[in-house]
Amino acid sequence: MTDRSFRSILTGSFSTPCAKNPTVAMMEAGYAKAGIDARYINCDVKPDNLAAAIAGAKAMEWAGFNCSIPHKIAVIDHLDELAESAKIIGAVNCVQIRDGKLTGNNTDGKGFLASLRKLADPKGKTIFLLGAGGAARAIAVELALAGARHITIANRSIEKAQAIAELLAKHTECQAEAQGWPEGLSIPEGIDVLINATSIGLGDADALPPVDTGSLGHAAIVADVIPNPPMTRFLREARKQGCRTLDGLGMLVNQGIIGAELVVGAKLDPEVMEKTLADIFGVQD
Ligand code: NDP
């Protein structure tokens, strides 16, 4: 007889389409480096099958799972409780299962925050956020909860920016302001952190959010949520203007690390996870 256990800890992701999502490679590299016998299973779950997938995860005693597009809001109806920021954001991308009880978290904004903290503490800072989708909403809430002083949200459809500003005013101490996005938007002076939280640049190294690139230097730090390619044109233009930059790869790695701490209770190594993704994305050193 051997003492060895042949039962792995089960985790994974529910989304559709899922085939292009490299999170599984990043997470399993992290688990392997940490010496944890855990699997991360990338599952294609259609909206009509979400309830059955969650019931299956519970029945098989998974430790937890990530939710990505299109389940981040719909999953909430199946959970027992929500962490504070997930409650405010109104979306969940990470679920822990403990003794059959499901708790929803949102690690997107927390992943961004962990990345940003390597360059600056958001407390007291003035933020300019481009975009008002799910990523922008999560980032805005986490920055506000972390003590940011003022956040301007600029979006093509201003109503979505206004909804985030109202959310921040209701739940946090942060001053929030919404505006539309005219072509060639100029970034005002005195910004501490400028963030592209739109999908512009995903899979397209030449795509650029329609801003006046000469005004990027008005921000001390310029960040992008786009993980692939990590060095977006937005960040390249910001570097030319002398800004410090932060890419979306770091955000992706950090949300995975925070998720693993919640779900399997282990601290994973960011370097091996970042290298795994960089290799997949074909990033040169
Ligand atoms: P959503 O679809 O919810 O939001 C997209 C946002 O981009 C909206 O504000 C939309 O504006 C804006 N947008 C899209 N095209 C244009 C355009 N041509 N001009 C101006 N604005 C535009 O997506 P998410 O918020 O969920 O995701 C956004 C990006 O963040 C994705 O690329 C995703 O890969 C990335 N992401 C990265 C993560 C990481 O860990 N690095 C984690 C989560 C997301 P409008 O409302 O007017 O349509």
How confident is the model over 189-240, as pLDDT tens digits? 999 999 999 999 999 999 999 999 999 999 999 999 999 999 999 999 999 9
30 is in an annotated binding site: no
Query: Same structural domain for residues 118 and 242?
Result: yes
pLDDT at 2: 84
Catalytic residue among 33, 46, 58, 72: 72
- Report percent pLDDT > 70 for the chain: 99
CA pair distance 93, 263, nearest whole angstrom: 12
Query: Same structural domain for residues 240 and 254?
Result: no
Cα of 130 to ligand 1 centre, how many Å? 9
Query: Same structural domain for residues 241 and 254?
Result: no
Domains contained in the chain, number: 2
Exposed, middle or buried by CB within 10 Å (0-12, 13-18, 19+), for 268?
Answer: buried
pLDDT at 1: 73
Question: Residue 27 pLDDT > 70, yes or no?
Answer: yes
Has 20 been annotated as catalytic?
no
CA pair distance 207, 224, nearest whole angstrom: 13
pTM for the predicted model, two decimal places:
0.95
Token representation of residue 132? 């008002």
Question: Residue 284 pLDDT > 80, yes or no?
Answer: no
| ipTM of the shown complex | 0.98
Please name which of 252, 256, 285 lies closest in space to residue 33, comparing C-alpha atoms.
256
Query: Same structural domain for residues 220 and 138?
Result: yes
Residues in the chain: 285
Query: Same structural domain for residues 91 and 190?
Result: no
Cα of 121 to ligand 1 centre, how many Å? 24
Q: What are phi and psi of 196, to 5 degrees?
A: -90, 105
The angle formed by the CA atoms of residues 187, 188 and 189, to the nearest 5 degrees, is 120
